[in-house]
Amino acid sequence: MACAGGLRLTRTSFVHEKSISWFPGHMMAGLREMRDQMRTVDLVVETRDARIPLSSINRQFEQIVGRKRRVVVYNKADLAPVAIQDAVRREMAMRDQQVLFTDTSINRSVKKILGVASEIALSDPVKYPQLVVMVVGMPNVGKSSLINALRRTGINRGKAASTGAKPGVTRALSSRIRVLDTPPVYLVDTPGVMIPHIPDPVAAIKVALTGGIKDNIADEAVLADYLLFRLNRLDGVDYCSVLGIDAPTDDIGELLQKLGRKIGALRRGGELDLDKATQHFLRAFRTGRFGRLCLDDLDPQSVAAHFQRSAEDLPLSRSQQAKARRAAHRQRAMDRARSRNQD
């Protein structure tokens, strides 16, 4: 139950047919430039949002990264439950992905990335006189913040990349940004790239809720409706206390009316301003006021279904097909072991 006082859930699933598409020209140009520069890159840091460990995966990066060494960084870990980290590590390890969790406000948390880069650079100083790391990811996952944090941690220097609360701040590849002197490590910032067409409309809603899609492109009313649906199904989220409303509800109209009255969101003439109430509700989630939350389901079946769907959407390279086969093999072995334990 989400709030004190009890709630009868009136919906069993969230149905939304229309996906959100946002793929402006600078993203296409950015992808092309990333592909062109990839041969000069030694390591790729693929940044994702820890609140949506699956929905923030953009398979286009796997295609342009190819066989380059890659580390997956789940940023904004301060906004996601610590408890998800083991499940995510396990699932990604099955897909041969090394995973780190970061919060860009904490030096010790981003230092792990410098550790990975240094290890590669020191393994062959002749091959890597300077190590070049490209930071890629969906919009607003915190790529530029991560670069600034690495620079602060590595060489105690100020901001080198522009950041902002809205998606699409970085619009082109940066020049190389120094983040470590010994061994020399340089980072390249890149524009956030969306999936051109997200096949699952609910995944698109999750990306928009976490700030990856501009609010004027996503339908804020739908985002708020999904957020309420999800909050009601997560244990221990007391949104009533956070919002200052009396009782939980599964009806977004009712919640926004109450919230609008509570925060005094009124238009001229005294009519309730439900848009303002909607934005207040979304902001409360985005700033972590409802606590650490994860919007993706991480049980093995849901994860397998997610990868199945995204594989159908994007043709896989040969090495990706081999990886997918290995992951499916491991998954089947785990399922068999699990069912043997249950017997």
Ligand X SMILES: Nc1nc2c(ncn2[C@@H]2O[C@H](COP(=O)(O)OP(=O)(O)OP(=O)(O)O)[C@@H](O)[C@H]2O)c(=O)[nH]1
Q: Binder to ligand X among 30, 53, 154, 192 (CB under 6 A)?
A: 192
Q: Which is nearer to ligand X, 173 or 265 (CB)?
A: 173
Q: Which is nearer to ligand X, 27 or 121 (CB)?
A: 27
145 binds ligand X (CB under 6 A): yes
60 binds ligand X (CB under 6 A): no
Instruction: Please name the helix (run of DSSP H) or strand (run of DSSP E) that holds residue 188, with its range, or none.
Output: strand 185-189
Residues in 84-103 that interact with ligand X by CB under 6 A: 103
Q: Binder to ligand X among 30, 53, 139, 154 (CB under 6 A)?
A: 139
Q: Binder to ligand X among 1, 7, 33, 78 (CB under 6 A)?
A: 78
Q: Binder to ligand X among 55, 56, 58, 140 (CB under 6 A)?
A: 140
Q: Are strands 43-49 and 69-75 parallel, antiparallel or unpaired?
A: parallel
Instruction: Please name the helix (run of DSSP H) or strand (run of DSSP E) that holds residue 117, with its range, or none.
Output: helix 107-123
48 binds ligand X (CB under 6 A): no
63 binds ligand X (CB under 6 A): no
Q: Which is nearer to ligand X, 4 or 172 (CB)?
A: 172
79 binds ligand X (CB under 6 A): yes
107 binds ligand X (CB under 6 A): no
Binding segment (CB under 6 A) for ligand X, from list 19-27, 56-64, 163-171, 304-312: 163-171
**Are 228 and 10 within 8 A, CB to CB?**
no
List the x/- string, 169-188, binding to ligand X by CB under 6 A. xx------------------
Residue (of 57, 68, 72) closest to 34 by Cα position:
68
Least Cβ distance, residue 24 to ligand X (angstroms): 11
C-alpha to C-alpha distance for 1 and 129, rounded to whole angstroms: 57
Q: Please, which residues bridge with residue 266 across strands?
A: 272
Instruction: Please name the helix (run of DSSP H) or strand (run of DSSP E) that holds residue 120, with its range, or none.
Output: helix 107-123
Q: Which is nearer to ligand X, 143 or 258 (CB)?
A: 143
Query: Dihedral of the CA atoms 1, 80, 83, 195 (nearest 10)?
Result: 100
316 binds ligand X (CB under 6 A): no
* Sequence-ordered list of residues with C-beta below 8 angstroms from that of 228, at least 6 positions apart, any chain: 249, 250, 252, 255, 281
Least Cβ distance, residue 244 to ligand X (angstroms): 23
**Are 57 and 146 within 8 A, CB to CB?**
no
Q: Which is nearer to ligand X, 284 or 316 (CB)?
A: 284
Q: Which is nearer to ligand X, 178 or 214 (CB)?
A: 214
C-alpha to C-alpha distance for 326 and 305, rounded to whole angstroms: 16
| Residue bearing tokens 């926004």 | 256
Q: Which is nearer to ligand X, 153 or 170 (CB)?
A: 170
Q: Are strands 131-137 and 98-101 parallel, antiparallel or unpaired?
A: unpaired
38 binds ligand X (CB under 6 A): no
**Are 171 and 28 within 8 A, CB to CB?**
no
* Sequence-ordered list of residues with C-beta below 8 angstroms from that of 198, at least 6 positions apart, any chain: 19, 20, 21, 204, 207
* Binding-site ranges for ligand X (CB under 6 A): 75-76, 78-79, 103-104, 137, 139-145, 163-165, 167-170, 191-192
